[in-house]
Structure 1
Amino acid sequence: MTAEAAHRWGTTLDSVVVYEQGAVCRRLARGSVPPDGRVRVTGLPRTLDPGSLRARVLGAPGVRVAEARVEVEAEPFGAEAPDSLRRSVEQLRDEQAATRRRRDHLLSLIGEIRTLHPVPPARKRDDPHRRTPVDAWLELAGFVDERLTGLHTRLVDVEEALRHVGHELAIAEDRLARASTDTPSAHVETTVSAFLFLDASGTGEAEVQVELEYGVPGAVWVPAYRLAYRQGDSSGRLVLRASVAQRTGEDWTGVSIALATADLRRGTDLPKLRSVRIGRRQPAAAPSGWREPPAGLAGLFTGYDAAGPPPPVTTAHGAVAGGYVPPPAPQAYGGAPPSPNPQAYGGAPPPPNPQAYGGAPPPPNPQAYGGAPPPPNPQAYGGAPPPPMSVGGPMLASGGSGIPAPAQPVRARRSAKPSSGDGDRPSPPPASAFAAAPGGAAPVPPPSPAPATGPPQPSGAELDYAALVLSGPDEHGGRRGRLFPGSPVDLVATEYRRRAERVAALPLPGHAVRPRESAGSFDHRFDAAARADIPSDGTWHTVTIGEIPLGLHIEYLCMPSVEQTVYATSVLSNATDQALLAGPVEVTVDDDFLLTAALPTLAPGRICRVGLGPAEGIQVTRRTNVHESTSGLRNTTTVLDHRVHVELANRLARPVTLEVRERVPVTSEPDVRIEERADWTAPEDGQGPDHHAPGTRVWRVDLPAGGTAVLDGGYEIRIPAGKALVGGNRRS
């Protein structure tokens, strides 16, 4: 299938699901099914994972997708290439280099002028003393001063221009780095498309809609919130937002966004349950996926060979296309070959035996490296096992023991006998085995080790049938007419995917937590209420997901024994069936921004508390008094009487409910007693968002606007008279 043979359909990105790392994109294409059913769907990103492509037909029961695969093409840009940012950076770099050269030239001139100084002629022993020519000295000093003044003035201007160009270049490079990766950064455009074969039997050229789904790396997200409430209300508005960053190679414009906490790369295959055997081990033979070549394959290209080889084409560098031109100074593999027989690996062959790399071998000796082997030695994938190689041969054949052919998946010698061997090539022989024989004879390779028996064991690349390519009649080495893995996967796309994954290393916003860390053992998905735009620039963008119904009320707390400050807190209750993940929350009170706090993970039906900071309008004062005495018939008990006095004042314009927390000592000693004298109460854990430490006591006071309150409490500690508390008897 080629680009000319397939109809082109444009696509539109419709929706994106962003996972913890990576995203799944959904594109829609519409068109009429051609008679041959071959369609090319364009517009896919360069970072697409070829193994994740899925295609299906929507709304057409009689049409189905029979085949779908990814194709990558590259072509140079035209004159209207959208590469203005890169051209601007290149121009500024050239300008900076030219300005730097001007500055260096001025510095060299200044150095030369500075070295100018008067040098009196050498005086002989009998010559009288000469008078110093002051006018000449002054004239030279004036010349040097004038020249240095002019050069320094020009140097200041050039350095200022250099700083300006450097600043402009830094700005341009920053813009280029932050630019969307949807625009290629090179002068070659890489086009990724999907070839589809649509089976529309009996429906004719019907117009159908095709959905493409694929995964891309380079997308991350973290949750964020905005909490808005009005004073006096019993509920608030919690808006779920998300900070999304993506560098997938395509701009998400007007797409439906969904956020998921699942791991896109998590394995989903069902594990295999193997049998437990008692006795002698009997490993089950795994299917190899190897098939015998079809009969008559050797005579398939008889007519092509009878027509003769095509005429050689000389390239611009003088090389002959299809042949190997040896270097001027050939070096033998493992040592310099002797003059009479330069047939070592890499050396230039003599004219009677042109066994060059890639050239057509002569009939008498067709075992040159890369040449076509004779029919009895088909070493291609799936071919019959070759006969043993003669020891006295001039060179190791491709695919045999010794030198492996580069980028050639041809297997080593095969054998039809069943065995558990993997069929890989034997390791190369030592370099000493290729030393030239005495007398100028050809280097004799060592005998090949015993070939592995059993059917061939293809590798993973050879079992990828969709990526196998049928070798044409011009292929040599026994490859003609057989299937081999094609060229390596698009290296450009691999590099784009590697760059896209760098977005996972972005620094998180304040109070942000990775969704996988806060989601726990459950996965959640949040669908955005409206479409959004997220460019592929690798920076954080805020997207509004939707509003979450939330129960909210404000409480005022203070612990005067620790700090005499009243704090305002909002108690949030999650009444939805989805968890609220940990993240930053912007709190707005009466349409005025208050602060940004950290919201913990809130499971469905749970309650949490978010601090809003000190409440300056409520004042608290605490005073304590400790009285120590003894009691008992013989004064055997020490009584430590602690009294607590708390004063509260509400300066706000509305009534508030204040919770004052105090602490009472706890003991595990049987001879120590604690007696409380106050109207406070012990909190019950499990009824609120807080976990209270043992000994916590709570006062709840309703303060009207401008009102005050006084709280008195205390406790007595009774200990044996011969003992004392560690750290002193004063507890507060």
Structure 2
Amino acid sequence: MTVDPAQRWNSTLDSVVVYAQGALCRRLVRGIVPPDGRVRVTGLPRSLDPGSLRAAVLGASGVRVTEARVEVEAGTPGTGSPDALRREALRLRDAHAAAQGRRDRQLGLIEEVRALHPVPPVRNPEDPHRRTAVDAWLELADFVDGRLAALHARLVELEEALRDAEHELGIAVDRLARASTDAPSAHVETTVSALLTLDGAGAAEGDGEVELELEYGVPGAVWVPAYRLTHRQGDGDGRLVLRASVAQRTGEDWTGVRIALATADLRRRTDLPKLRSVRVGRRQPAPAPSGWREPPAGLGDLFTGYEAAGRRRQVPTAVPAGLRVGSAAGPVPPPPPPAPAPALAPPSMPSAAPAPQAYGALPVPGGTYGAPPQGFGGALPDFAQPAPAPPAPPRSAARQRGGPGAPAGPPAPKAPAAPGRAAPPAVPEPAAGPPQPSGAELDYAGLVLSGPEEPGGRRGRLFPGSPVDPAAAEHRRRAEAVGSLPLPGHAVRPRESAGSFDHRFDAAARADIPSDGTWHTVTVGEIPVGLRTEYVCVPSVEQTVYATLVLSNATGQALLAGPVEVTVDDDFLLTAALPTLAPGGVRRVGLGPAEGIRVTRRTNLRESTSGLRNNTTVLDHHVHVELANRLAAPVTVEVHERVPVTSDPDVRIEERAAWTAPEVGEGPEHHVSGTRIWRVDLPAGATTALDGGYEIRIPAGKALVGGNRRS
């Protein structure tokens, strides 16, 4: 076992920003910088996204973070690990299986006793008829009846015990499913930590402690807005409390953290596009990518000693390169016979750091870049006796075959496949010109050094490796299952209601949200809104008056769509659906029918003709609406009517009423063409009548035979 040289610092979760999918967590850590500057920050969740880790030093202490990487450690869980629910569920599952087994055995006994019946002996045809032993038959029937009665009574008890066991097991399974995922779910506990390298430790020694900030993204967190509206009749304003239903299964409990809610997409790309310049003139070579170096000279001689030593069986020497932390130390298939040392092909990624001198290999000359992969380990392959390898070609020949910027030459000779083994995969020849490394190839912490068992074109070079934590994908999959939770009533996803704009809401106080995958309500803050009560009716569709609240948003922050609990005069009224309310917008929220206001509507249609030769059909519509206010307060009622519209210039529509046509953008809702509105102020206990109408004049050439008869 090796002792971790890095000093361990404990971190505290300070704030969380929950996005539409996922969350961004911020941790604070304090400590004294060690002389070597290596610090391991513990307490990170298992579902952490390694590519999202950011570290910074708070304050002007002269210390800066030069490297930050994620590492996974395995260990035995402590004695105080909260797995009592898991053990209880296993115990109840065993108890349920035992109760079910007892019930099944009882059913088997009942079937055996039920199968008892008298069987007469086989009669010889020559023997005379014998009398039936009726008493014996009756005694057997009495025995079967009594035995079955006792067995059925016992069966009732066993079935009741089985139902109780099923009920208790269901409760335990439900508690386990809703329990926090902050506890480890396996016998081997895996912990995630951030390994930091700090520079400028001498500047911080005099100041004492240094405060660091860690920021990382995690999946498995969602939220939807919710509201509580308090209003008093007659007042022109109200209290709208913004709340949020938050569910998270990130693997860590959010205890006493500052919560912020955002509608943005956490996984949206934020990098800027690169526009390359277009030049007129002589062709210029493309510049080498930043962070790339040409492989050092003598790379082909790195494994000469390894090839000359021959294949031996289970040589307990250095560990071969090509394996990294987290790889399984299992049996490795024997490598193919070595090929002649290939020419130095143009690299497609940064060169490796000096490799360990394994199997008598020579050290790699030349400089290094970045940080080499750390922690190689694994099982040694079996070695057999190969043929001696020819000497490597000189440096000049390597550059003639495939140096940077040179055309691709003929491929290197391939080694024949060993008997009983498949040939190694062919390494494609690189394209001519300078290398074009990808983002994964420039991720120095994620590169893996290829060992001697790799083909000749990959030996001693760095390539993108596998993820550090193989179980991280499973943790992220379980965390992302929170996105499929059923939404509360009238709830809308933030991305659906926010539209093309993104908003952020900061909670006024700290909150606790466990990692159990269920909805938890968090109070964000109070938003001042303008309110007025109006009554709307459309008597041509339904002769019912509806109460509404007209909300006006005078703040600079949008209100997203979601459920709103309406309380009027300290009495809970109902839960309605609040539409999205932009800054400065006005929307209407329905409160249901108002039983204290009555409306009736009657219509009358008269058809006649006019004109010199009665060639124009006149349809005269008369509308009569009556309103009665039975409430103890004055009200304002909007009566909506609709007149027909036409696109034919020969058909004329003449209106005769005091109604008005709403202007474009007027009012809290959108009105269709032809809408007309009456606004009536009714005192308490008052009634009023509204009369209106319109005439439709249709030329005879536009009329249909038998048509135009409508109310």
Matched, 1:528 2:507: yes
Q: Which region of structure 1 is more displaced relative to structure 2, 9-18 or 135-144?
A: 135-144
For residue 517 of structure 2, what is the aligned residue in structure 1? 538
Q: Aligned partners of 1:228 and 1:34: how far apart in 2? A: 56
Identify which of 488, 502, 525 aligns with 2:481.
502
Tell me if structure 2 keeps the 8 A contact 1:289–1:463.
no
Match of 1:547 among 518, 521, 526: 526
Q: How many angstroms does 1:488 deviate by?
A: 4.2
Equivalent position of 1:577 in the other structure: 556
- In 2, distance between residues paired with 1:605 and 1:696? 25
After the TM superposition, which of the residue ranges 73-82 and 48-57 deviates more from structure 2?
A: 73-82
1:203 aligns with 2:182: no
Distance 1:634 1:236 in 2: 64
Q: CA deviation at 1:107?
A: 2.4
Counterpart residue number, 2:14? 14
Gaps of 5+ in 1: 312-321, 327-356, 368-372, 388-413, 435-441
Offset of residue 68 of structure 1: 1.5
Q: How does 1:249-328 map to 2 (within 5 A)?
A: 249-274=251-276, 291-292=295-296, 309-310=315-316
Cα shift at 1:61: 2.5
> What is the deviation of 1:480?
10
Q: Are 1:683 and 2:683 an aligned pair? A: no
| Residue 32 of structure 1: aligned partner | 32
Question: Does the CA-based 8 Å contact 1:298-1:375 persist in structure 2?
Answer: no
Deviations 1:85-140 (A, max 9, x none): 11011111111112222222222222322333333333334333333333333333
Assess if the C-alpha contact under 8 Å between 1:17 and 1:25 holds in 2: yes
**SS of aligned partner of 2:156:** helix
- What's the secondary structure of 1:580's corresponding residue? coil
Q: Counterparts of 1:63 and 1:143 in 2: how far apart (Å)? A: 93
Say which is worse superposed, 41-50 or 233-242, in terms of deviation.
233-242
How much does 1:663 deviate? Answer: 2.6
Q: What SS class does the counterpart of residue 107 from structure 1 fall into?
A: helix
For the residue of structure 2 that corresponds to 1:202, the secondary structure is helix
Give the match for residue 350 of structure 1.
none
Deviates more, 1:145-154 or 1:501-510: 145-154
Q: 2:202 is paired with a residue of what secondary structure?
A: coil
1:68 maps to which residue? 68
Q: How does 1:103-122 map to 2 (within 5 A)?
A: 103-122=103-122
Indicate if the aligned counterparts of 1:681 and 1:698 stay in contact, CA closer than 8 A. Answer: yes
Cα 1:626/1:22, change in 2 over 3 Å? same
1:629 aligns with 2:608: yes
Q: Which residue of 2 aligns with 1:452?
A: 429
In structure 1, the partner of 2:224 is: 222
Q: Which moved more, 1:285-294 or 1:121-130?
A: 285-294
Q: How many residues end up aligned between the 2 structures?
A: 644
Whether contact under 8 Å (2:576, 2:589) holds in the other structure is yes
**Separation in 2 of the partners of 1:547 and 1:448?**
65
Which amino acid letter does the alignment assign opposite residue 220 of structure 1? V
8 Å CA contact 2:551, 2:586 repeated in 1: yes
In structure 2, how many angstroms separate the alpha carbons of the residues matched to 1:194 and 1:80? Answer: 24
SS in 2 for 1:90: helix
Cα distance between partner residues in 2 of 1:114 and 1:377: 90
State yes or no: 1:672 paired with 2:674.
no
1:686 Cα deviation (Å)? 2.4
Matched residue, 1:361: 383
Change beyond 3 A, Cα 1:386–1:511: farther
TM-score, structure 1 normalization:
0.77
SS at 1:500 equivalent: helix
Q: CA deviation at 1:9?
A: 1.5
Match of 2:170 in 1: 170
Pair 1:277–1:489, CA change in 2 (3 A) = same
2:67/2:196 contact within 8 Å kept: yes
Greater mean alpha carbon deviation, residues 607-616 or residues 475-484: 475-484
| CA 325–464 in structure 1, closer or farther in 2 if over 3 Å, else same | closer
CA distance in 2, matches of 1:17, 1:581: 17
Q: Distance in 1 between matches of 2:410 and 2:43?
A: 42
8 A Cα contact 1:556 1:659, kept in partner: yes
> Which stretch shows the higher mean deviation, 533-542 or 657-666?
657-666
The correspondence of residues 112-191 of structure 1 with structure 2, limited to 5 A, is 112-191=112-191
Query: Quick one: distance in 1 between partners of 2:690 and 2:435?
Result: 90
CA offsets per residue over residues 367-406 of structure 1, 9 Å max, x none? 7xxxxx979689xxxx99999xxxxxxxxxxxxxxxxxxx
| Distance change in 2, residues 1:451/1:716 (3 Å) | closer
Q: What TM-score do you get using the length of structure 2 for normalisation?
A: 0.79
Distance in structure 2 (CA, Å) of the matches to 1:75 and 1:562: 71
Which residue does 2:41 correspond to in 1? 41
Tell me if the contact between 2:402 and 2:408 (Cα under 8 Å) persists in the aligned partners.
Answer: no
Q: Distance in 2 between matches of 1:148 and 1:584?
A: 59
Alignment of 1:474-489 (within 5 A): 488-489=467-468
Q: 1:244 aligns with which of 241, 246, 254?
A: 246
What is the identity, as a one-letter code, of the residue corresponding to 2:586? Answer: I
Is 1:718 aligned to 2:683, yes or no? Answer: no
Report the CA distance shift for 1:694/1:124 in structure 2 as closer, same or farther (over 3 A): closer
Relative to 1, partners in 2 of residues 1:202 and 1:655: Cα closer, same or farther, differing over 3 Å?
closer
What is residue 601 of structure 1 aligned with on the other side? 580
Q: Alpha-carbon deviation of 1:252?
A: 0.9
C-alpha contact (below 8 Å) 2:332/2:380 kept by paired residues: no
Q: Which whole-Å CA distance do the structure 1 matches of 2:415 and 2:438 have between them?
A: 20
Letter in 2 for 1:712: D
The answer to whether the Cα contact below 8 Å between 2:229 and 2:239 also exists between their aligned partners in 1 is yes
Shift of the 180–697 alpha-carbon distance from structure 1 to 2, 3 Å rule, reads: same
Cα distance in 2 for partners of 1:588, 1:637 equals: 57
User: For residues 624 and 424 of structure 2, what CA distance do their matches in structure 1 show?
Assistant: 101
Instruction: Note the C-alpha offset of 1:653.
Output: 0.7
Letter in 2 for 1:218: G
Q: Report the AA paired with residue 452 of structure 1.
A: E
Task: Name the CA distance, whole Å, in 1 between partners of 2:125 and 2:396.
Answer: 102
- Equivalent position SS for 2:116: coil
One-letter amino acid matched to 2:429: A
The 1:77/1:426 distance shift into structure 2, 3 A limit, reads farther
Task: State whether residues 653 and 695 of structure 2, in contact with CA within 8 Å, keep that contact through their aligned partners in structure 1.
Answer: yes
How many angstroms apart in 2 are the aligned matches of 1:127 and 1:48?
92
Deviates more, 1:39-48 or 1:136-145: 136-145
User: Aligned letter for 1:106?
Assistant: Q
Further displaced range: 690-699 or 454-463: 454-463
Q: How far has the Cα of 1:547 moved from its partner?
A: 1.3
Alpha-carbon RMSD across the aligned residues, in angstroms, is: 4.3
